[in-house]
Amino acid sequence: MQPIITFNRLSIMKYLITFLLLSFIFSVELATASAIDTVPKEKQYSKKELSDDVSYLVHSITDVHPNMYHSITPNQYKKLTDSVLANLHDGMTAKQAWPLIGRLIGALNEGHSSLNFPENLTATLKAGRNILFPVLISEFDGQYFIVRADGSAEDVLLTGDKIISINGISSSRLVDLLSSNTGGLKLWRSNDICRNMIPYLEMYNIHGPYHITYTRGGKLDSTSLKAVSFPDYVGHLKAKAGKLPKAPVTADLAFNYLEGNKAYLGINSLTADTAKFKHFLDSVFTSIKQTKPASLIIDLRRNGGGNSALGAMLLGYITDRPFRMTGGVKWKVSQEYKDELNKRSNGDAAKQMDYYFSKANGSVLEDDGVAPQKPAKNDLFYKGKVIVLIGSRTFSSANMLANTIQDYKLATLVGEPSGEPANDYGELITIKLPNTGFTFTTSVKQFVRANGDAKDPHPVLPAYTIHGAPLTPADEVLEFAKKL
């Protein structure tokens, strides 16, 4: 077997409708309120259409996923499916059916599987009249939502306020409720909720006025905020954008020198072309070889993944010790994924990947991983101290990279636990349901952590756990790393 260790970023449908809230760059295309009247009436579905979609979804997951019952027994999943089917009825709209069907994806409990938002949701929200949640959320700290900006007409909440509850539902419970359509660790799921609070509240019928309890400086208070229209929300946020803490720059690749003879390498994505990524690393480590910094800080805190081969390439510049990126792979063989591979390669996949196409659908290709190997000799190898920053947004191939560093002690990890277990899933396929048109994304491969311990349920854990405060000017995690 020749395993392909490749991850796709988890950014398929739902991240396309994030509204670009953190950048405050909006393109408001609604000319007048009269456009609201042109919104078409929501389509209604028969119970049979919805039931057929549920059957299609369950059948597809069973076909393609390498271990769909790792967090739920077959009997429990059947009971959940029966419960979803029992609650479907004639005349349901996409908005009514979506939260129910999403539970069948969330029950898989792995961060690469999710039911994506309906395709027309963005247009519906932009054209609606006073239906939007008016507060921009910065993060979930494990207990509370942290306010970045209040875009309501009342303008009560301040940056840094901690939201205890919305309409009587605690912030922690809201994360669990609103992320019912996706799996993974809670802090990873909360990142998606904070990015997409507006559509999630809409899909789960949590509407204004929004009764919010919050704390400010340790003092408990409450307020009631009216829902807003999209143009008003944009206008309110634009008016105060200059007064808010600047969002961190998130270029995919960045390099610079810090005070104290230290170098900083930010890698926010592993999706670059291989040759371009190598060229970038060559230029970075050529500079490092010339300047000889005392330490190198590599930042993976905002890296959602991409191609794990790029992670292995990076390691070749910071270590000469043996390592491997994975302790084994389980790859489910299915007709759905064969079709997907052929689509990507214009029908040539069967010739290129006979080892997969020759296997019977339903079988599983397995290997125990290669033995740890030393990287190829690299004249640009950096011999100094290396510190790697990780957090809840370190995901997919970046998680695999961080796990390799952890298991083989290739550098010092600093920050917060990563966004998924080190024993994780990947290699994505997106499937469309025939009647509603809902799309869901799930995995076809299971990856064992680098040291081969397939039973370890933990995420990648830092040697030094440091919690950052995103709304302060300082970067607490980076500042700690600079002192090591």
CATH number at residue 381: 3.90.226.10
Domain extent at residue 330:
253-483
Considering the domain boundaries, does residue 13 fall inside one? Answer: no
Tokens for 423? 């024993």
pTM (2 d.p.) = 0.84
Confidence of residue 249 (pLDDT cuts 50, 70, 90): low
Considering the domain boundaries, does residue 271 fall inside one? Answer: yes
Give me the pLDDT at residue 240, please.
82
Number of domains the chain contains:
1
Considering the domain boundaries, does residue 279 fall inside one? Answer: yes
Considering the domain boundaries, does residue 365 fall inside one? Answer: yes
- Look at 238 and 478; give whichever has higher pLDDT: 478
Considering the domain boundaries, does residue 49 fall inside one? Answer: no
Considering the domain boundaries, does residue 285 fall inside one? Answer: yes
Give me the pLDDT at residue 26, please.
34
Question: Each residue of 251-295: pLDDT tens digit?
Answer: 899 999 999 999 999 999 999 999 999 999 999 999 999 999 999
Question: Each residue of 189-206: pLDDT tens digit?
Answer: 999 999 999 999 999 999
- Look at 132 and 124; give whichever has higher pLDDT: 132
Residues 399-426 have a mean pLDDT of: 96
Closest CA to 424 of 5, 12, 3: 5
Question: Each residue of 298-315: pLDDT tens digit?
Answer: 999 999 999 999 999 999
Confidence of residue 471 (pLDDT cuts 50, 70, 90): low
Considering the domain boundaries, does residue 439 fall inside one? Answer: yes
Question: Each residue of 19-65: pLDDT tens digit?
Answer: 334 333 333 333 323 333 444 578 999 999 999 999 999 999 999 99
Considering the domain boundaries, does residue 145 fall inside one? Answer: no
Residues 217-240 have a mean pLDDT of: 92
Q: What is the mean pLDDT of the chain?
A: 89
